[in-house]
Amino acid sequence: LMAQLTVASPTNIAVIKYWGKRDTALNLPINSSVSLTINQADLRTVTTVTVSKDFEKDRLWLNGEEEDVSASKRVQKVFAMVRGRSRQWEGMKVHVVSVNNFPTAAGLASSAAGYAALAFALGKLYAVEESYPGELSTIARVGSGSACRSLAGGFVAWDMGSREDGADSCARQVAPAEHWPELQVLILVVSDKKKAVSSTAGMQTAVETSPLLAHRAAHVVPARMLAMEAAYLKKDFAAFAQLAMQDSNQFHATCLDTFPPIFYLNDVSRAVIQFVHAFNSACGETRMGYTFDAGPNAVLLVQQQHAVQALAAVLTHFPAEPGSEASYVNRPAMQQE
Ligand code: DP6
């Protein structure tokens, strides 16, 4: 007896950032967050999950290399949550083969795509019925917080919730990508090196040492979440881009406020920030926004009608290295292959 499923899972880029946990075992955040789902052929994770009674043990291969599943608490927790919700396939073992074709741990949210794919595929194979909308996203969340936002397409909020067991800390689609198809992103890969401080470690040190982070979670993000969702629903680009830029900047300010400080942005990242502000002021309106995750790579936000102008300006200021490709990204949703 055997069953197999392959899913292509998108990554996501937060425009209101998740940074800080109130529960590190369950990945329960200190604030809500919201992201754009990015599903571009060369920016997703393809994961094949096979369930069989002939397998001796659970095994996992990431980009061709076998990982020690028994040593990964996150993967163990995801398996346990799925198995705890289904009697189907009882006693069977799982083999997972996951490949992503974008820089792992370079701040392009690759763990998000991976755990979303794992939760989605296992949920399907084990025939897990959601007992409330978003339950499957709580399984992805236990793998990696940001992963819960990759199960839906478009604009997806992760509501922080208040329960201790995390059942209400789940994802909710604000609107599908078709609501605002003109909104696109341009990704500038400044470095594909693995980041020096992982998100998991960085945000924990921040929770312990940064008073700015505590202030942000309690007094800044709640109003920003409401304003951000409203801007997306109204397709108000200027408001959307401005909130995204401010939130990215505040997140990186909390990194500087962490002790010892953490630096994810580099000189090129800061030059990109200055370039976007100069571009907008030359245009006399906000035509470009930016956001940076836990790494130096820039995600630029543009609308289709200004994309060519924006790309031309970017390439003039930051000539692409020979052989590199500027990736210009559209945003549909998760696909089952
Ligand atoms: C900067 O989801 O990778 O990308 O929950 O510890 O796995 P863990 O952290 P992770 O953190 C993502 C941080 C971020 C912001 C965001 O995606 O909201």
Q: Whose CA is nearest to atom 14 of ligand 1?
A: 293
Cβ contact 26:166 at 8 Å:
yes
CA of 119 to the centre of ligand 1 (A): 17
Amino acid in the structure at residue 51: V
Q: Which atom of ligand 1 is least distant from the CA of 145?
A: 5
Note the ipTM here.
0.99
Task: List pLDDT tens digits, range 275-322.
Answer: 999 999 999 999 999 999 999 999 999 999 999 999 999 999 988 776
Task: List pLDDT tens digits, range 190-219.
Answer: 877 777 899 999 999 999 999 999 999 999
Model confidence band, residue 337 (pLDDT cutoffs 50, 70, 90): very low
Q: What is the pLDDT of residue 39?
A: 75
CA of 59 to the centre of ligand 1 (A): 25
Contacts of 42 (CB under 8 A, 6+ apart): 101, 102, 327
Which among 74, 136, 144, 63 is positioned nearest to 109, based on CA atoms? 144
Cα-based distances in Å from 317 to 223, 228, 314:
35, 29, 5
Tokens encoding 84: 């705890």
Q: What is the pLDDT of residue 102?
A: 66
Q: What is the pLDDT of residue 110?
A: 67
User: Could you give the maximum distance between any two Cα atoms of the chain, in Å?
Assistant: 65
Question: Strands of 298-303's sheet, edge to edge?
Answer: 288-291, 298-303, 183-188, 327-329
CA of 69 to the centre of ligand 1 (A): 21
Residues with CB under 6 A from ligand 1: 14, 17-19, 27, 33, 109, 111, 144-146, 199-200, 293-294
Cβ density class 32-70: b for 16+ within 10 Å, e for less = bbbbbbbbbeebbbbbbbbbeeeeeebbbebeeeeeebe
CA of 309 to the centre of ligand 1 (A): 31
Cβ contact 156:174 at 8 Å:
yes
Cα-based distances in Å from 52 to 62, 118, 126, 153, 299:
20, 16, 11, 30, 41
CA of 109 to the centre of ligand 1 (A): 7
Contacts of 182 (CB under 8 A, 6+ apart): 235, 303, 304, 305
Q: Which atom of ligand 1 is least distant from the CA of 293?
A: 1
Task: List pLDDT tens digits, range 243-283.
Answer: 999 999 999 999 999 999 999 999 999 999 999 999 999 99
